[in-house]
Structure 1
Amino acid sequence: MSRDNALARLVGDEQTFVRDDFGRRPRHLVAADRDGFADLLSLDDVDHIIAATALRAPAFRLVRKGETLPTSRVTRSARVGSRPIDDLVDVAAVHREFAGGATIVLQGLHRSWSPVAALCRSLEASLTHRVQANAYLTPPVAQGLNLHGDPHDVFAVQTHGVKRWVVEPTGETRWELELRPGDVLYLPAGTRHAAQTIDQPSLHLTIGVRATTWREVVERAVTQGLASVARLDGLDEPLPARWAQDPGALATRLQRHLDAVASVLQDDGLAEGAADEVADRFWSTRPPDRSGGLRDLLEIDHLDDTTPLRVRPDASCRVRADGEQVTLVLGDRRLTMPARLEPAVRRILDLAVFAPAELDELMDVSSRLVLCRRLVREGLLTIDRRPASERG
């Protein structure tokens, strides 16, 4: 199975999962390959992160028997340049608490650990919901958190050791199961669960899916509707004097305003506009992986018609044409260009891996090099340094 497709890697059959399981029911997916997630985060990786990366709170915490230990017990003071800090990991203290039965929690790995970040970006692009990742390293015969439900969906991905889980699916008999390396447990939001180790340590990733809800989209539509209703007569007038003495009369007048709002909310264009705005907000707040970006900048002046380029994996780019302009909605910005560049931009996105010369029938040499260099600077493209045999 391709490691580029995170959802398929986690659940196997994507279509069945999305149709039958996502947000609806738990799934326990037993691994066919016990090394299936060894590349994401190993015991040695956690050891390295704790001991050698100058970790700072709140990027880590320790939990014992359901309680988070005070940060002061596992941090120390230091200086970074001339600035004093007091939240630097105390490696010896973390080791001591872990030996005493505490679970080490690494938080925000979707930002700080490259293999996990790549998985999360791919999963986010597949589900179009926000994704985050923490890791839990638990010593033998220990429990981290007590029975609880999370406010978001969770994929628990076992990468080392064994952990025993208790799951309480809504309306079903309690599950008792073990996760072994390569296994995945999917839990919809609110599903109560707890986990503990037995006679060996356990390391697992918790990938949280912070889903956009219908409430958020409806609120966006109502907000847009109210903005247009502001033009209606009387809505911005103050309430009459002594209005609180006669709520019944107030309710009568309020109902007229609510009826006006309701009529505006029936406009089909309002739903379309709100949906577009929410979608744009999702796609335009996904910063790309800029690995290799410094080398790109150093080499960009030498970019020519034969330089191999590629669209960054899981990069966001929506193309919106508007009269004489075209806007590229990228993961962290918007680019506005002349409309004549739209065919070339769409060709680049379709090709994904290409050399500028492949835009020959759309643009002259000078123009296509200017465009490609601009898109490299903006982080949509990167110079493809892979061997030719791996470019596909």
Structure 2
Amino acid sequence: MNQRASQAELLGASQARVAQVIDPVDWEHFCAEYWDRKPLYLADGSDRFASLADAATLRRLVESGTPWLYRRLPEMYIDSGFVPHEDLVHEYVDMDGRVARAPRLDRVRQLLLNGATANCFGQEAHFPELMALKLAFAQAFSAEVETSLFYSQKDHPGLAPHYDCGEIFVLQISGRKRWFVSDQRHVNPIVGYGGPVAYDDKAPHATIELEPGDLLYLPRGTFHHACALTEESLHTSVAIKMPSYLDLLQALAGNAADLDAMRDYLPLGGPAAWADARVELVERLRGATALPAYGAAVQRLLGRRIPAR
């Protein structure tokens, strides 16, 4: 089997796995009607996500400080308020003279006793089925994917109303959680660009109660918040971070200097003449996209976003 056929087979298997998650909506219908357009709620009420993780194990991991060993620090919230990282971690100099960090376990455990939410990243090492799911989503969407586990407690809201900069799939693993999904949506947000958008609490919203096996898909920019209805609630958020046209522009900029035409001066005449050069710029950019180096840059862009199996 050649490499292209092998890649096609892998893509097909990954899309089939995602199709199981969004069943009874099929892959083509989801992409055409919902993807980056509108939320999707699928009630199932089964234990189909139970193998991904469990609340008791995650709580033990949090109480032991394990999530703080990973690259991205976990987040904790108490009644819609974010707990600053400096309240949860202290830094020290280790035996080799390097700055290290350790969680303040007394503080972490007290927050849990008070009903706090813990949002933990990078826990796939403890939950193999979660890793398999992450890989399937990454291959299916040709995108960078991050999974997080939300441990929440009854009547204690986690995050305040907010939106995400990636597509979000919420898979309810155990317990029940009430979600408030606003009609308000920030168009095409990208991390690090633009200013924050204020939440409009007067905008219409849907109220959705997720039970085990249920799924909620939220396009990027959709304002939402949630609160657990049972003593414990556990869900995973699968965040899809798709490449954008801005990424392609950045890939192009990195290779445009190799094209003689892109190193030409702008025309004489000052700002007015430079603004009129936009048509010529488009033509020269088209030439830059024909360079083999541009295709290689795009491949690197995609390759670094998709984890290898």
Q: TM-score, normalising length from structure 1?
A: 0.60
What does residue 207 of structure 1 align with?
238
SS class of match (1:192): strand
Structure 1 residue 189 corresponds to structure 2 residue 200: no
The 5-angstrom pairing of residues 104-183 of structure 1 reads 104-109=118-123, 113-170=127-184, 173-183=204-214
Distance 1:225 1:74, change over 3 A: closer
Q: TM-score, normalising length from structure 2?
A: 0.75
Measure the CA separation in 2 of the matches of 1:270 and 1:3: 31
Conserved? CA contact 2:168–2:237, under 8 Å: yes
What does residue 360 of structure 1 align with?
none
Measure the CA separation in 1 of the matches of 2:105 and 2:77: 16
Conserved? CA contact 2:259–2:288, under 8 Å: no
What does residue 28 of structure 1 align with?
41
Shift of 1:203: 1.0
Measure the CA separation in 2 of the matches of 1:5 and 1:16: 13
Deviation digits for residues 273-304 of structure 1 (CA, Å, limit 9, x no counterpart)? 6455323421255443xxxxxxxxxxxxxxxx
Shift of 1:146: 1.2
Shift of 1:15: 1.9
Shift of 1:5: 4.7
How much is the aligned-residue C-alpha RMSD, in angstroms? 3.4
Distance 1:282 1:266, change over 3 A: closer
Shift of 1:211: 1.4
Q: Which amino acid aligns with 1:214?
A: Y
What does residue 98 of structure 1 align with?
112
Deviation digits for residues 168-201 of structure 1 (CA, Å, limit 9, x no counterpart)? 1358942101011111110000101010123432
Measure the CA separation in 1 of the matches of 2:210 and 2:37: 21
Conserved? CA contact 1:229–1:261, under 8 Å: no
What is the aligned counterpart of 2:49 among 37, 62, 68? 37
Structure 1: 5+ residue stretches without partners: 241-248, 289-314, 316-392
- Identity among equivalent pairs (%): 19
Deviation digits for residues 55-74 of structure 1 (CA, Å, limit 9, x no counterpart)? 42653231112222233444
Q: Which amino acid aligns with 2:58?
A: V
SS class of match (2:68): coil
What does residue 305 of structure 1 align with?
none
The 5-angstrom pairing of residues 304-319 of structure 1 reads 315=309
What does residue 80 of structure 2 align with?
66
Conserved? CA contact 1:140–1:200, under 8 Å: yes
Q: Which amino acid aligns with 1:202?
A: S
Q: Which amino acid aligns with 1:8?
A: A
SS class of match (1:56): helix
Conserved? CA contact 2:289–2:295, under 8 Å: no
Distance 1:284 1:211, change over 3 A: closer
Measure the CA separation in 1 of the matches of 2:118 and 2:260: 52
Conserved? CA contact 1:166–1:175, under 8 Å: yes
What does residue 283 of structure 1 align with?
303
Shift of 1:85: 6.5
Measure the CA separation in 2 of the matches of 1:226 and 1:86: 41
Q: In terms of Rg, which structure is larger?
A: 1
Which gives a bigger RCO, structure 1 or 2 (Cα 8 Å, sep 6+)? 2
Measure the CA separation in 2 of the matches of 1:122 and 1:168: 29
Measure the CA separation in 2 of the matches of 1:182 and 1:119: 15
Count residues in correspondence: 276
Structure 2: 5+ residue stretches without partners: 1-12, 186-202
Measure the CA separation in 2 of the matches of 1:3 and 1:219: 28
Shift of 1:210: 1.0
What does residue 8 of structure 1 align with?
19
Conserved? CA contact 2:177–2:230, under 8 Å: no
Shift of 1:119: 1.2
What does residue 329 of structure 1 align with?
none
